[in-house]
Chains A and B, each alone.
Chain A
Amino acid sequence: MQSIKSEFPIFENARKEGRSLIFLDNASTTQKPQCVIDAISGFYTGYYANVGRGLYWPATIASASYDQSREKVRAFIGASSKKEVVFTSGTTDAVNKVVNSFLLPQLEQGDEVLVSEMEHHSNFVPWQQACQSKGAQLKVIPLDAELNLDLSELASMLTDNVKILAITAISNTLGVKNDLKKIIKLAHQHNVKVFVDAAQLPLSEKIDVQEMDCDFLAFSGHKVFGPTGIGVLYGKQGLFDKMSPLAYGGGMVQQVSVDKTIMADLPSKHEAGTPNIAGAIGLAAAIDFVNSVGVEEIGRHSAELRKYAVECLSEIEGLTLLAKDAEGTAILSFTVEGIHPHDIAAFLAEKGIAVRAGHHCTHPLIQKLDIAGTVRISFSIYNSEEEVDLLKNTLDEIRSFFL
C-alpha cells in the first residue's frame, strides 16, 4: 500500500509529530493523487480554452478532453450512453436539479415523496422543501433495530401517490449499505422512480446503473480522488429527454429567437453555461487512477480496515460501535461514554489523526439515535492497520485523560 500512498503528495507535506497525516475522513472527502493534480494543471498550462465553440486548436483539445471525460464517467458507472451523463457541481447540486426539473413540475397536493431515515441533509432537505412548497408529503422510511433500512416498512409505503423514492446507497454516518437492486425493483413494481445518492458508493463497489436499474444516480468527484466542484448526475435517457433543462443559459440551446428557444440535444440540454472543464478533466484522471488500482481492490481494502477497526475498538471500555456488522463499506461510527465526540476529535487531531465528529449532516438520524453525535472514521486505499492501531492507542489515552 506504501507505493499507492506515495502517489498522494499530501502525505509528504502534511506532517505532525514527525508522521504523515492520518486521514480517516474519507467519507467527507478524499485526498488527491499527483496524476489528478497534474491533469488539472496540465489543462490550465497546456491547452486551456473554453469548450464547444472555439475554432482554434486549444479549444478543440479542451472540447475533446471534456467529451472524453464524459465517456470515462459513462464507462465508470455502466451507463448505456453519454447522453445519460450530466456534469453537476456535486451530489447536492444533482439532487436539487432532479427536484427542480423532475419532481416539482409534476408534484401536486397529496402526492408523496419517500426518503429514508439515514439520508444526508443533501438528500433530505431539497425533497422536504419541494413537498412543503406544494402541499405534498415527505415520508421517511424507518430503520430497523440493526439500523438497516426496514424493507417491509418500505413495501407498505410504496403507493400510487409516491412520485419518487430518494435513497442513499451507503449511509454516510453508519456505513450501512442498502440493497439497491431489491429496493429499486420493489419501487418499480409500484411505478415509483428512484433517485440514488451514490456519494459513498463509487469506491465501495463497481457501479452499474443498468444492472441496478436506478432512474437517477448522483455522486461527487471529490470523494473519488477528484477535484471539488464537479459531480455527476446520471439519468435514464427517456427521463432526461422529457425533463425541462436543469438550468437555462448558453451552451444548452440549438436556436434562440425573441419568441422561443429550441433546446440542444442531450446531454448539452442539461448543462447551461461554461462547464467546470478543469473539474471534468480532473475527474477523468481520478477515474483512470481508480481503475488502475481497481474499484474492487479499494473497496475490499477499506472494508477490511473497517472490520479490523471494529475488532480493535471493541476492546475499549465504554465505546459503542454503531451498525458494527455492516458489510462491505468503509465507514464506522462510534461513541464513547462520558466523552463528547468533538473532544475526542480534537485530541485525535493533535496526534495527526483526522476524523469527523458530530452529526455528519444527518440530523434526523442522530435525533432518532438520541445521541449528541458520533465520532466517524472512514477508510480509503492509503490507510493501514498501523493507523488503526494508533487510533486505538490514542483513544485509550483519551479515556484515561478524561475519565
Chain B
Amino acid sequence: MNDRLKALYKTQILAHAKNSFNEGVLDDYTHKIQAYNPVCGDQFDLYLKFEGDVIHNTSFKGYGCAISKASTSVLAKQLLGKSKSEAKALIELFLKVINPENSESPESLTSDEELLAFASAREFPERLTCANLAWEKVKEVLEVA
C-alpha cells in the first residue's frame, strides 16, 4: 500500500474512525448541527451541550468515509470544555492545517497529533470536503450562535 495514502489514513484517523469519540445522541443537547455532503452522501449529526459560554458535552451520530468520520470524532472530542471563542479558534486552526493553499507548514501551526493527522488531506484535494465537513458546519453555527 502506498505511503502517500497511508499517511493520510494514519493510525490516528483509523483509530478515530473505528472507535469514535462519544458516538450517539446526546439527550440534553442545546445545539444539533447537521453536516451533510450531498455529493458523496456523508451525513453526521453533531450534538453540543452549552452551559453558558462553555461546551459541556458533545456527541455525534452518522455515517461517512473513514476521513469524515474520524474528523467529526476529533471535532467532538476537541470541542469538549471549550468556550465559544476557543472553539472558533480551534476550528480556524484545523482548517489552516488542512488547507492546501496555506503556505505555513502544518507542524508550524500546531503540535496536536490529532489535528496534524489530517494534514495529508492537503495532498488530496478531492478529500478535503471529507476532512472539513463537520468543522465547516460547526463554524457556521458558532458564527451566528
Closest chain B residue to A16, Cβ basis: B2
- Chain B residues, CB < 8 A from A389: none
Please pick, from B1, B64, B67, B124, the residue contacting A401 in the complex, using a CB distance under 8 A. B1
- A372-B63, A372-B64, A401-B9 known; A346-B127 Cβ under 8 A: yes
Q: Is the CB of A346 within 8 A of B41?
A: no
Please pick, from A17, A343, A358, the residue contacting B66 in the complex, using a CB distance under 8 A. A343
Determine whether A279 belongs to the interface, using a CB cutoff of 8 Å to chain B: no
Chain B interface bracket (under 10, 10 to 19, 20 to 34, 35 or more): 20 to 34
Q: Is the CB of B5 within 8 A of A340?
A: no
- Chain B residues, CB < 8 A from A359: 41
B interface residues with partner A (beta carbon < 8 Å):
1-2, 4-6, 8-9, 14, 39-42, 63-67, 69, 124, 127, 130
A366 to B63, CA, bound (A): 14
Q: Is the CB of A340 within 8 A of B66?
A: yes
- A340-B64, A340-B65, A402-B14 known; A350-B41 Cβ under 8 A: no
Please pick, from A343, A350, A402, the residue contacting B2 in the complex, using a CB distance under 8 A. A350
Determine whether A5 belongs to the interface, using a CB cutoff of 8 Å to chain B: no
- Chain B residues, CB < 8 A from A146: none
- A343-B67, A402-B14 known; A366-B41 Cβ under 8 A: yes
28 A-B interface contacts by CB (under 8 A): A339-B66, A340-B65, A340-B66, A341-B65, A342-B40, A342-B42, A342-B64, A342-B130, A343-B9, A343-B65, A346-B65, A346-B127, A347-B1, A347-B5, A350-B1, A350-B2, A350-B4, A350-B5, A351-B2, A359-B41, A366-B41, A372-B41, A372-B64, A373-B40, A397-B1, A401-B1, A401-B6, A402-B14
Number of interface residues of A (CB under 8 A): 20
A342 to B39, CA, bound (A): 11
- Chain A residues, CB < 8 A from B4: 350
Contact with B along A336-370 (1 / 0, CB 8 A): 00011111001100110000011100000010000
- A358-B40, A358-B41 known; A342-B65 Cβ under 8 A: yes
- Chain B residues, CB < 8 A from A401: 1, 6, 9
- Chain B residues, CB < 8 A from A402: 14, 66
8 shortest A-B CB distances, which residue pairs?
A: A342-B65, A340-B65, A350-B5, A343-B66, A343-B65, A350-B2, A359-B41, A372-B63
Interface centre among A340, A351, A397, A401 (most CB of B within 10 A): A340
